[in-house]
């Protein structure tokens, strides 16, 4: 009879894998890809080094996997926030707030995507560009809808969406480096929303 792992064994393995990946996000965010070592990751996760190699052949594979996973998490969160609102001000507010909340409560995610992924691995460049493309698309969709209804000035919504994404990244990166980011979060949300609506020349009711 072939060996079958019990539910308890599978849950234990899943818990170790999750702990290792969560630790890896923090380690990569703090040290950067090149300085981080496999020993740093397993030490932070409190797992044996053999556990690492059970799941991943090397650091590069783990980093690429984490980048894709964290990108999907951020993008899905923003997309759902924006899609759940019907007017541009509410869409912008919901999207910005979702992004700021991730930055405040999961800063390592933002660090990994916006800092750790830049120039880390040549093989990662296509994933990084795809992440930026998908992020731009999230902001462009409500802009297109608002322009179709003549609620914003005529403009190249693709370029505007790229500018919005870049502005949010810059402000949020600065936010997570503040000593009390959570206390400043609401002001950042309000300032970014006002900035975006002014930038697109929103004139709806």
Regarding whether 124 and 32 lie in a shared domain, the answer is: no
Regarding whether 63 and 50 lie in a shared domain, the answer is: no
Q: Please report which confidence band the pLDDT of residue 38 belongs to, taking 50, 70 and 90 as the band edges.
A: very high
Domain end among 56, 75, 102: 56
Regarding whether 34 and 21 lie in a shared domain, the answer is: yes
Regarding whether 44 and 119 lie in a shared domain, the answer is: no
Residue-number span of the structural domain to which 31 is assigned? 1-56
Regarding whether 75 and 21 lie in a shared domain, the answer is: no
The pLDDT tens digits of the residues spanning 48-70 come to 899 899 999 999 899 988 999 99
Regarding whether 82 and 28 lie in a shared domain, the answer is: no
Regarding whether 174 and 85 lie in a shared domain, the answer is: yes
The pLDDT tens digits of the residues spanning 128-183 come to 889 999 999 999 999 999 999 999 999 999 999 999 999 999 999 999 999 999 99
The pLDDT tens digits of the residues spanning 72-89 come to 999 999 999 999 999 999
Residue 190 lies in a domain: yes
Please give the model's pTM, rounded to 2 decimal places.
0.86
Regarding whether 73 and 34 lie in a shared domain, the answer is: no
Residue 10 lies in a domain: yes
Domain end among 11, 32, 56: 56
Regarding whether 118 and 74 lie in a shared domain, the answer is: yes
Of these ranges, 21-30, 39-48, 171-180, 188-197, the one predicted with the greatest mean pLDDT is 188-197
The pLDDT tens digits of the residues spanning 101-112 come to 999 999 988 988
Q: What is the pLDDT of residue 3?
A: 45
Give the integer Cα–Cα distance in Å for 2 and 120. Answer: 42
Regarding whether 63 and 41 lie in a shared domain, the answer is: no
Q: Look at 35-44, 97-106, 111-120, 176-185 and tell me which has the smallest mean pLDDT.
A: 111-120
Residue 204 lies in a domain: no
Please determine, for residue 11, whether its predicted confidence score (pLDDT) is greater than 70: no
Residue 102 lies in a domain: yes
Residue 192 lies in a domain: yes
Residue 52 lies in a domain: yes
Q: Please report which confidence band the pLDDT of residue 17 belongs to, taking 50, 70 and 90 as the band edges.
A: confident
Regarding whether 121 and 45 lie in a shared domain, the answer is: no
How many independent structural domains does the chain possess?
Answer: 2
Q: Which long-range contacts (CB under 8 A, 24 or more apart) does 94-101 make?
A: 95/138, 95/139, 96/168, 96/189, 96/192, 96/193, 96/196, 97/189, 99/74, 99/168, 99/172, 100/172, 100/175, 100/185, 100/188, 100/189, 100/192, 101/185
Q: What is the pLDDT of residue 143?
A: 98
% pLDDT > 90, the chain? 64
CATH number of residue 24's parent domain: 1.10.10.60
Sorted by sequence, the CB contacts under 8 Å of residue 30 that are 6+ apart come out as 36, 108, 111
Residue 63 lies in a domain: yes
Q: What is the pLDDT of residue 8?
A: 55
Regarding whether 4 and 50 lie in a shared domain, the answer is: yes
Q: How far is CA 59 from the centre of its chain?
A: 20
Residue 205 lies in a domain: no
Domain end among 56, 79, 95: 56
């Amino acid at each position: 009879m072939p060996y079958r792992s019990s539910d308890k064994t599978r849950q234990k393995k899943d818990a170790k894998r999750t702990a290792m990946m969560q630790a890896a996000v923090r380690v990569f965010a703090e040290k950067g890809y090149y300085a981080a070592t496999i020993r740093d990751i397993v030490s932070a996760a409190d797992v044996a080094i053999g556990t690492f190699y059970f799941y991943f052949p090397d650091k590069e594979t783990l980093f690429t996997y984490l980048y894709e996973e964290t990108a999907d998490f951020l993008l899905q969160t923003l997309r759902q926030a924006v899609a759940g609102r019907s007017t541009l001000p509410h869409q912008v507010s919901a999207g910005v707030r979702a992004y700021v909340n991730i930055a405040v409560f999961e800063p390592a995610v933002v660090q990994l995507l916006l800092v750790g992924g830049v120039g880390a691995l040549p093989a990662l460049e296509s994933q990084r560009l795809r992440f930026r493309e998908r992020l731009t698309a999230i902001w462009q969709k409500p802009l297109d809808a608002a322009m179709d209804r003549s609620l914003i000035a005529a403009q190249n919504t693709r370029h505007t969406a790229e500018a919005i994404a870049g502005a949010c990244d810059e402000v949020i990166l600065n936010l997570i480096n503040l000593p009390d980011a959570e206390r400043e979060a609401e002001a950042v949300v309000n300032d970014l929303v006002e900035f975006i609506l002014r930038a697109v020349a929103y004139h709806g009711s």
